[in-house]
């Protein structure tokens, strides 16, 4: 059933601002094979209905607009992550993975207790390489970590070589490394561990995250700096956290644009400006190539 965007917007789930329609190239040339490892496709709303449980309503953020941004940035590979506004309906994400001209991978949202094995295999053939568990940007985030259910989910996808991606506040979990020490798959954390605004590398949960990364069990996405600091560009409050991650485990990091930057209440960043933050976070060119090219190739099978 189709439903127009206007009909789906409500006071409780307001319409987000759209991305900057005029992305500019970064100040440095991205290496060949660079990957944007975190982006969402949303819409068109008159064709794909959003979940009633969502907490925001995105504007149409279509695959043609996204790939135009990638071309401007000089990015050849990308990972489309199913956004929370669709719940466990991966239709839009799977359709986006069919887009020609780019190497594309996906991260799906599934119900691990009900999805059939053949459905998982179809998603694998389509390019899905992980499943997402969102414990933060949901209508009721008070439930905590459903570890038993998530572990069952991980066991379902482990034979495919997939990982489990979490959106979770790592600063709320001082025993993070112990909780996931024996997890069935690698795990991936979005938004530099998604610590609450202006909390830094001294947080016990963050130190635990670094320990798990050094053991080769965890990856972190350098994404969404505007989500973890009270300040505006260049998001200086994030710099110590980013540099600590790079120093501790550069082989376990990937970068992503977080396009189309949903739920951003600050001035909308230009995607070129976001990419340029890597010059400050990762001044070494060889390490930047590792984060932009080599690590994504390992994690997503590019």
Which residues form the catalytic set? 258
Q: How many CB atoms lie within 10 A of CB 113?
A: 9
- Residue 167 tokens, joined: 């959106």
**For residue 245, which of 196, 188, 195, 207 has the smallest C-alpha distance?**
207
- Would you give the DSSP letter of residue 42? B
**For residue 73, which of 8, 12, 24 has the smallest C-alpha distance?**
24
Packing angle, helices 204-214 and 239-248, rounded to 10: 30
How far apart (Å, rounded) are the C-alpha atoms in residues 41 and 79? 11
How far apart (Å, rounded) are the C-alpha atoms in residues 191 and 159? 27
Q: How many CB atoms lie within 10 A of CB 91?
A: 11
- Residue 10 tokens, joined: 């409500």
Q: How many CB atoms lie within 10 A of CB 232?
A: 11
How far apart (Å, rounded) are the C-alpha atoms in residues 209 and 257? 22
- Residue 198 tokens, joined: 């202006």
Q: Could you give the angle at the alpha carbon of 81 between the alpha carbons of 78 and 207, nearest 5°?
A: 95
How far apart (Å, rounded) are the C-alpha atoms in residues 128 and 117? 14
- Residue 204 tokens, joined: 């016990």
Q: How distant is the alpha carbon of residue 267 from its chain centre?
A: 20
């Amino acid at each position: 059933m189709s439903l127009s965007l206007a009909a789906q917007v409500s006071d409780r789930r307001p319409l987000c601002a759209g991305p900057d329609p005029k992305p500019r190239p970064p100040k440095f040339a991205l290496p060949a094979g660079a990957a944007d490892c975190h982006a969402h496709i949303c819409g068109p709303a008159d064709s794909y209905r959003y979940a009633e449980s969502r907490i925001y309503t995105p504007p149409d953020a279509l695959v043609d607009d996204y790939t135009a941004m990638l071309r401007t940035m000089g990015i050849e590979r990308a990972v489309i992550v199913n956004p929370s506004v669709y719940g466990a309906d991966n239709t839009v994400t799977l359709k986006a993975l069919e887009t020609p001209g780019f190497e594309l991978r996906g991260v799906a949202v599934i119900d691990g207790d009900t999805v059939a094995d053949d459905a998982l295999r179809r998603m694998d053939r389509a390019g899905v390489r992980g499943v997402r568990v969102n414990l933060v940007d949901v209508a009721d985030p008070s439930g905590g970590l459903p570890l038993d259910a998530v572990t069952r989910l991980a066991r379902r996808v482990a034979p495919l070589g997939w990982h489990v991606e979490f959106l979770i506040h790592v600063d709320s979990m001082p025993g993070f490394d112990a909780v996931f020490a024996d997890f069935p798959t690698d795990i991936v954390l979005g938004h530099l561990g998604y610590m609450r605004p202006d909390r830094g590398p001294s947080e016990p949960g963050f130190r635990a995250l670094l320990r798990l990364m050094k053991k080769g069990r965890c990856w972190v996405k350098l994404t969404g700096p505007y989500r973890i600091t009270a300040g505006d560009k260049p998001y200086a409050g994030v710099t110590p956290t980013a540099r600590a991650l790079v120093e501790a485990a550069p082989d376990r990091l990937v970068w992503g644009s977080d396009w189309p930057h949903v739920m951003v209440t600050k001035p909308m960043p230009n995607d070129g400006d976001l990419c340029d933050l890597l010059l400050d976070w990762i001044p070494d060119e060889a390490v930047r190539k590792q984060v932009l090219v080599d690590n994504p190739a390992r994690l997503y099978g590019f």
